[in-house]
Amino acid sequence: MRIVLVGASGFLGHHVLPQLSAAGHDCLVLSRYRPGCRDLTVLPGVTVRQLRNWSPDSIARQLSGANAVISMAGILNEKGRKGDGFRKVHVELVENIVAACRETGTRRFLHISALGAGKGTSHYLQSKGAAETFLRSSTDIDETIIQPSVIFGQGDAFFNRFASLLKVMPFMPLACADARMQPVWAGDVAAVIVASLADPATVGQTLVTVGPHEYSLQELVEFTADVAGLKRRVVALPDWLARIQAGVMDFVPGKPFSSDNYRSLQTPNTSEENCLWRFGIQPRSIESVVPDYLGHGKHQKRLDQCRRWVNR
């Protein structure tokens, strides 16, 4: 199958593309910056092409002969505060891709959305929901929507970011400490994507992917500190102070936290529904994966011990 992927040069794409390659698919990754994707080009059957113009016509020229499109472009924060950046990436880009699909007759469309899309008041979730509504109304597209909870794995922006912050902070003042999450491993999400491509029964469906356990944000940050070998106190901020922190962080370069993040965290990121079991996938837990890439957990210690024994 020839597959065109948009947004696959990021974290999740680095877990999806190896599985697509192993399954024998021919993958074309469209990226804004090709030199940053050199590691992907070593995968058999994977080609990376730089695209500066993301108009429907420009995208359509890349879809020649494609059997399917996978849309996974997304941002967690925008430059401003009005939602324009979220709408551009989460809604307008999806609309342009669908227009390109119509022009080329490419019907199969997999879209990576977010758990809680359309709920709450954050621009992030609202724009994700708007894209889903648009796709469901596009009757000439055979769409499958995948809604993951917070995705973790090698190179993630969740555990790795908190680990970096904990290393330089004597204690962690944490906003929205009671926010509920159900982190799902990137490898499991990738497996669902690959399985969905081969399963016509997923057309028109929304597939929820979550991990095996629920946690509060505070529990996850404390877990991060423990795995990273850092003794740090995590201090839950009262709501009024969390709002102030978010407002201040809106103006910090890189936006490690924002008012929109605060609003997103008001919506529980958990679900009793989980499509992983449908595909015969047993969800991996954070305890079984995160210690291996943060580098100070029991798994890593066992690996270090083995290396020392081999090198004696």
pLDDT band at 296 (very low <50, low <70, confident <90, very high): low
* Distance from C-alpha of 191 to C-alpha of 109, rounded to nearest angstrom: 16
pLDDT for res 308: 45
pLDDT for res 307: 45
- Which long-range contacts (C-beta less than 8 Å, at least 24 apart) are formed by 24-30? 25/1, 25/197, 26/1, 26/2, 27/3, 28/2, 28/3, 28/4, 28/62, 28/66, 29/5, 30/4, 30/5, 30/6, 30/59, 30/62
Mean pLDDT of the chain: 93
Evaluate the CA torsion angle 162, 289, 144, 68 in order and state its sign: positive
pLDDT tens sequence across 212-271 = 999 999 999 999 999 999 999 999 999 999 999 999 999 998 888 999 999 999 999 999
pLDDT for res 254: 84
* Distance from C-alpha of 34 to C-alpha of 3, rounded to nearest angstrom: 18
Average pLDDT over residues 8-26: 95
What is the residue-wise DSSP string for 217-282?
A: HHHHHHHHHHHTT---EEEEPPHHHHHHHHHHHTTSTT-SS-HHHHHHTTS-B--S--TTGGGTPP
Using the predicted structure, report yes or no on whether residue 47 has a pLDDT greater than 50: yes
Identify the bridge partners of residue 147 per DSSP, sorted by sequence position: 208
pLDDT for res 312: 43
Contact assessment for residue 84 and residue 123, using Cβ atoms and an 8 Å cutoff: no
**Element at 102 (helix H, strand E):** helix 93-104
Lowest mean pLDDT among 38-42, 195-199, 281-285: 38-42
Please give the model's pTM, rounded to 2 decimal places: 0.92
Using the predicted structure, report yes or no on whether residue 299 has a pLDDT greater than 80: no
Q: What percent of the chain has pLDDT over 90?
A: 88
* Distance from C-alpha of 146 to C-alpha of 144, rounded to nearest angstrom: 7
pLDDT band at 37 (very low <50, low <70, confident <90, very high): confident
pLDDT tens sequence across 167-189 = 999 999 999 999 999 999 999 99
